[in-house]
Amino acid sequence: MKRELFDADHDLFRESVAEFLKREVIPHHPRWEEEGIVPREVWTRAGGVGLLGHGVPEEYGGTGLNDFRYNTIVNEEICRAHASGLGITLQNDVMAPYMVGLTDDDQKKRWLPGFASGELITAIAMTEPGAGSDLQGITTSAVRDGDAYVLNGSKTFITNGVNADLVIVVAQTDPDAGAQGFSLIAVERGTPGFERGRNLDKVGMKAQDTAELFFDDVRVPTANLIGREGCGFIHLMENLPQERLSIATCAVASADAMLQHTIAYCRERTAFGRPIGRFQNTRFVLAELATEVDIARTYVDRGIDLLNRGELTVEDAAMAKWWTTELCNKVMDRCLQLHGGYGYMMEYPVARAWQDSRIQTIFGGTTEIMKEIVGRGLGL
């Protein structure tokens, strides 16, 4: 069924994204999973065909397309290709609002051309070994010293952490100011004292580099302050709804991709002399999943429209994030079950998809935190 959200231009863009993934990503992804990282040249190739830099003005090398539907198409096609190693979604959906909306003219000139071309890979560093969902527990500090900040601390679970050329670090700039004491500071590759730890060994998303970061008396120019000093939390809260909606788009696309794969499998796989899809239990399970995925997609499409109109609320995004990611895990689990023993074999796509999806109810804010946000929005 054609989705009203997209027009003919979006359909053409989807074809180009699918073709890029077919040519440049799908044949190589198994090797990247073994190596634990996607080669940098894939980023520049993606930038060369317009997959990066949505929202970046054309004067800085971007597409100038400030339309989240294009971001969504990239996300959906990556999920359909089972290409979980690509950190492009982080660059387009999470980093772009900071890089475009919070940078000054000089910062735009320095960073945006490479951001759009794929030559400058970015990451955001919030989580610490002792501070996950509770961002006010962040202890990484940035002390003003003349025309520089001196950064000390560590971060963990940082997506694009190995490849990143520029990391926006959430740091405490005034320990006595509470929530108003945090700022966003951009740390560039090669800055003395900035070190990367190991590429973390995860349950899923094996090809996506996720690293620990360490800051030991790192001197960062005050010109690298992103947004306003002391407004780090405000900036984060303003941009988290888009990040969470992005996660929801991926959750629905991943669930749908595996559902379609499983339906095809159930038509072919036989037991007791007939395809397993002919058994009532199988049909009922797939009917339930198909219904819920369609409902989730409808809600997320509404969220995309609201985001494009500047009307997406924190609560809207939290609802979308927790519901779709929990549904995605349910779909993956049911689909694996319908594959029987083969579903537990890593050579089958459902096994890898099951592993990859598990993190979605955790990153970007756990399901529990999302429900807390929704509950507070109800005045409770």
What burial letters (b/e) apply to 125-135, b meaning 16+ CB within 10 Å? bbbbeebbeeb
For the record, the structure tokens of 71 come out as: 């971001």
Q: Which of 128, 212, 229, 243 is catalytic?
A: 243
15 included as an active-site residue:
no
What burial letters (b/e) apply to 85-119, b meaning 16+ CB within 10 Å? bbbbbbbbbbbbbbbbebbeeebbebbbbbbbbbe
Exposed/middle/buried for 346, CB within 10 Å: 0-12, 13-18, 19+? exposed
Phi, then psi, of 367 in degrees rounded to 5: -55, -40
C-alpha torsion sign, points 128, 131, 135, 137:
negative
Phi, then psi, of 195 in degrees rounded to 5: -125, 150
Q: Which residues carry out catalysis?
A: 243
